[in-house]
Chain A
């Protein structure tokens, strides 16, 4: 694949970010966001029926498209996944919020001809609650929150997560167990209240 200016730029930014340049992230974020959003849109419009959307596939495709693979260090790849997980989380939450807003703002009269919308907004409100619980978790325990983000929103497996976070796979498993149990508790409580 021929290297595009964008690829070069992103690869460069990833390297800078890996070297500890935080401002590189600010430049990187919108580029990756656009690509992931575009891909998600394409996936959804292409296969509406019975389709399952996989974040991993999405991020992989974005990675292939955005990053010059010959010149990228392995660690930069994990950084790419980490940032992609974050972005996917934001995309999904943004959509969920917009949807919830549209539902609320829609007025109460005779709007309910929408099974699909109801289901979607249910998922949406659930997502929003999960996102909020995750933020609370991040204040107490940033790493465990990140494990959830990488796994649930980024579609990474434990091995990949271990690589991104520089911890052992066992630690990832333990973090996941604890975080998931706590989130489950939070969501169950808020659902029954």
Chain B
């Protein structure tokens, strides 16, 4: 704008704002004449004047607004750790960054020989003992949930007066960085949000509210795109310092915020209306924030973003978000889900993360259904069958249980079982080089005339009788992480329950990593035996280049105590997702009389073995 133009605008503006709206319109029209652009400039400025004055824009004191910033800057910085330095039992590999809470390092834990992210909290944060205590507690609980989408905390500790926490190290980027400069496709958006909600669901169950859900607190692992939610419990710790209160006990901070009109904008865009008003919050506040993130992923814009904090807060509290633009290409159902998550009143929102998660999963299923119809028919027929744990998974873990329960059941009468079975696999493209190859076969021992006959191996169909027993053998020419699960029915849920069979304390010493060419026999010492119940049993083979976090997390269930049953609902569901997602890209299967070989070009091979009897 030229100074002349500016003077012209300012001249009209100055008189116009002293007039009432009608006189003002006439005045502006008269002064601008046919100069449409001048009139539009003046009108825009008058509107801005109105808003700026309503919101008391820069009406406060800059230093006051920047008090948080100043306190950060004026703090004495703790001496940082150096590359190559030893810090307790940690060896500092690199500095990853710094923030208001302290510094983050990449470190090697020499005791367990694993890489961790080491967060050294600033003394300012760690000196508040009461808050630290609460934070420890919450973070510990969240971490102990063992939910694959929650960042695992390994240790809290203090070395040389520095408080630190060691967490799982995620090689990846934050959702914020992931979103930078690009728009995500709908399947990815759903995938990310579903994982976020799975993390929240588990945390909320344990009565932990995150309080600071935002794209900066969501990491996406490079390798497999697994989403990790960071910093449960931390938000609580920082409330006072941020002057953005989310708890009644922090009235002080709330007042500080309210008495600072003209305070400039911070990252408050994901705050719920109840947070914005410094009211008591519960898990529904996290649901709001997730809704805001979902909105942003879909549209590329934050639903509430004003020029100042005040402006943004007012929008959060009062303003309905803009409907999703057509260009976003979002289905109406997604719009409904987002609006429900972002209902101003917490009572109108999704009440649990699970409810929102279910809606999103249904939506995902619908969208997938449109493109993959064959899978649906297959699924439908499966559902009609009664799934029975005929093959007794827990027998893997203890021979004792096996010997008693199943034996008695299976003795009573004869039955026919057919093993295996995977003929649906489509061949992989000829040119593709298989990344994963897995060979498996069954060892069968028939029970005839009151005694067991000599065992033999089989890859195809076979008629079984009561008491027959079977063992699974797996081998690969490559080293990799192997997991074996069985799938059984559960009442009242759409998702089957999984039993964790391999690795376990008795199988490969709890290690999923299997050397190239090593033969894994499962169960190693005993057999699986079929009982009299009819139905379909599925064994799942997972063979991956890298460890699969969900399955690593589920390891603990492979114990006699739980009988292999994965009792953590969220984890069970995450595993279900993992298996169904990966088995969708069907590996190539070759069968001869004795062995089956499956190959895939993916880094993860997932292969179901169906066992059924009629």
Q: Name the interface residues of A165-188: CB closer than 8 Å to any CB of B.
A: 174, 177-178, 180-185, 187-188
Q: Mark A144-181, 1 if CB is under 8 A from B, else 0.
A: 10001000110100000000000000000010011011
Chain B residues within an 8 Å CB radius of A126? 264-265, 307-308
Interface check B65, CB cutoff 8 A: yes
Give which listed residue, A55, A98, A115, A184, contacts B61 with CB less than 8 A: A55
Chain A residues within an 8 Å CB radius of B99? 103, 106, 111-114, 117-118
Q: A108-B173, A109-B96 are in contact. Are A182 and B73 (CB under 8 A)?
A: no
Which residue of chain B has its CB nearest to the CB of A125?
A: B265
Q: How far is the CA of A48 from the CA of B73 in the complex (A)?
A: 12
Closest approach, in angstroms, between the C-beta of B387 and any C-beta of chain A? 41
Q: How far is the CA of A187 from the CA of B309 in the complex (A)?
A: 12
Give which listed residue, A52, A114, A153, A185, contacts B238 with CB less than 8 A: A114
For the complex, count residues of B whose C-beta is within 8 A of A: 90
Most buried by A among B45, B96, B98, B307: B307
Q: How far is the CA of A4 from the CA of B169 in the complex (A)?
A: 57
Closest approach, in angstroms, between the C-beta of B383 and any C-beta of chain A? 42
Q: How far is the CA of A12 from the CA of B537 in the complex (A)?
A: 94
Give which listed residue, B45, B95, B177, B238, contacts A108 with CB less than 8 A: B177
**Stretch of B212-220, B398-406, B452-460, B468-476 at the chain-chain interface:** B212-220
Give which listed residue, B48, B49, B100, B117, contacts A118 with CB less than 8 A: B100
Chain A residues within an 8 Å CB radius of B63? 40, 53-55, 58, 88, 92, 153, 155
Q: How far is the CA of A168 from the CA of B396 in the complex (A)?
A: 91
Closest approach, in angstroms, between the C-beta of B315 and any C-beta of chain A? 12
Interface of A is mostly: helix
Closest approach, in angstroms, between the C-beta of B259 and any C-beta of chain A? 6
Which residue of chain B has its CB nearest to the CB of A115?
A: B238
Most buried by A among B45, B58, B262: B58
Q: Are A184 and B101 in contact (CB under 8 A)?
A: no
Q: A50-B252, A119-B267 are in contact. Are A113 and B71 (CB under 8 A)?
A: no
Which residue of chain B has its CB nearest to the CB of A182?
A: B45
Closest approach, in angstroms, between the C-beta of B75 and any C-beta of chain A? 8
**Stretch of B10-18, B288-296, B505-513, B552-560 at the chain-chain interface:** B10-18
Which residue of chain B has its CB nearest to the CB of A56?
A: B61
Q: Are B266 and A119 in contact (CB under 8 A)?
A: yes
Closest approach, in angstroms, between the C-beta of A164 and any C-beta of chain B? 17
Q: How far is the CA of A120 from the CA of B7 in the complex (A)?
A: 36
Chain B residues within an 8 Å CB radius of A117? 72, 99-101
Q: Are A106 and B177 in contact (CB under 8 A)?
A: no
Q: Are B266 and A122 in contact (CB under 8 A)?
A: yes
Interface check B550, CB cutoff 8 A: no
Q: Are A51 and B67 in contact (CB under 8 A)?
A: yes
Chain B residues within an 8 Å CB radius of A70? none
Q: Are A111 and B104 in contact (CB under 8 A)?
A: yes
Give which listed residue, A95, A98, A140, A180, contacts B57 with CB less than 8 A: A180
Q: How far is the CA of A174 from the CA of B10 in the complex (A)?
A: 10
Q: Are A92 and B235 in contact (CB under 8 A)?
A: no
Chain A residues within an 8 Å CB radius of B308? 126, 187
Q: Mark A99-134, 1 if CB is under 8 A from B, else 0.
A: 100110011111111111111111110110010000
Q: How far is the CA of A116 from the CA of B128 in the complex (A)?
A: 15
Give which listed residue, B46, B70, B119, B173, contacts A40 with CB less than 8 A: B70
Closest approach, in angstroms, between the C-beta of A114 and any C-beta of chain B? 3
Q: A96-B69, A106-B99, A109-B104 are in contact. Are A123 and B231 (CB under 8 A)?
A: no
Interface check B1, CB cutoff 8 A: yes
Which residue of chain A has its CB nearest to the CB of B14?
A: A174
Which residue of chain B has its CB nearest to the CB of A105?
A: B97
Which residue of chain A has its CB nearest to the CB of B102?
A: A113
**Stretch of B192-200, B239-247, B439-447, B562-570 at the chain-chain interface:** B239-247
For the complex, count residues of A whose C-beta is within 8 A of B: 66
Q: Mark B80-124, 1 if CB is under 8 A from A, else 0.
A: 000000000000000111111110101000000000010100001
Chain B residues within an 8 Å CB radius of A65? none
Q: Are A115 and B72 in contact (CB under 8 A)?
A: no
Q: Name the interface residues of B250-293: CB closer than 8 Å to any CB of A.
A: 252-253, 255-256, 259-260, 262-268
Chain A residues within an 8 Å CB radius of B173? 108-109
Give which listed residue, B49, B170, B262, B264, contacts A177 with CB less than 8 A: B49
Q: Are A99 and B69 in contact (CB under 8 A)?
A: yes
Q: Are B264 and A130 in contact (CB under 8 A)?
A: yes
Interface check B162, CB cutoff 8 A: no
Q: How far is the CA of A180 from the CA of B49 in the complex (A)?
A: 7
Interface check B539, CB cutoff 8 A: no
Give which listed residue, A54, A58, A118, contacts B267 with CB less than 8 A: A118
Interface check B366, CB cutoff 8 A: no
Q: How far is the CA of A174 from the CA of B17 in the complex (A)?
A: 10
Interface check A26, CB cutoff 8 A: no
Chain B residues within an 8 Å CB radius of A89? 62
Interface check A2, CB cutoff 8 A: no
Which residue of chain A has its CB nearest to the CB of B177?
A: A108
Which residue of chain A has its CB nearest to the CB of B10?
A: A178
Chain B residues within an 8 Å CB radius of A48? 71, 124, 241
Interface check B68, CB cutoff 8 A: yes
Q: Are A113 and B307 in contact (CB under 8 A)?
A: no
Chain A residues within an 8 Å CB radius of B13? 177-178, 181
Q: Are B97 and A95 in contact (CB under 8 A)?
A: no
Interface check B230, CB cutoff 8 A: yes
Closest approach, in angstroms, between the C-beta of B201 and any C-beta of chain A? 21
Q: Are B69 and A120 in contact (CB under 8 A)?
A: yes
Closest approach, in angstroms, between the C-beta of B575 and any C-beta of chain A? 25
Interface check B44, CB cutoff 8 A: yes
Q: Are B268 and A52 in contact (CB under 8 A)?
A: no
Give which listed residue, B230, B231, B241, contacts A116 with CB less than 8 A: B241
Chain A residues within an 8 Å CB radius of B260? 52
Most buried by A among B100, B177, B301, B305: B100
Q: Are B45 and A112 in contact (CB under 8 A)?
A: no
Which residue of chain B has its CB nearest to the CB of A124?
A: B69
Q: How far is the CA of A135 from the CA of B241 in the complex (A)?
A: 31
Closest approach, in angstroms, between the C-beta of A166 and any C-beta of chain B? 19
Give which listed residue, A110, A122, A155, contacts B97 with CB less than 8 A: A110
Q: How far is the CA of A177 from the CA of B73 in the complex (A)?
A: 32
Interface check A192, CB cutoff 8 A: yes
Sample of 19 further A-B pairs with CB below 8 A, known A120-B72, A177-B53: A52-B259, A55-B64, A109-B106, A110-B170, A110-B174, A112-B214, A112-B231, A113-B119, A117-B101, A119-B68, A122-B264, A122-B266, A123-B69, A124-B69, A127-B264, A180-B58, A184-B49, A184-B51, A191-B265
11 pairs of residues in contact across A and B, judged by CB atoms under 8 Å: A44-B67, A54-B64, A96-B69, A108-B97, A113-B104, A118-B216, A124-B66, A127-B66, A183-B52, A184-B48, A184-B52
Which positions in B face A, CB cutoff 8 Å?
A: 1-3, 6-7, 10, 13-14, 17, 44-46, 48-49, 51-53, 57-58, 61-74, 95-102, 104, 106, 117, 119, 124, 167, 169-174, 176-177, 212, 214, 216-217, 219, 230-231, 234-235, 238-244, 252-253, 255-256, 259-260, 262-268, 301, 305-309
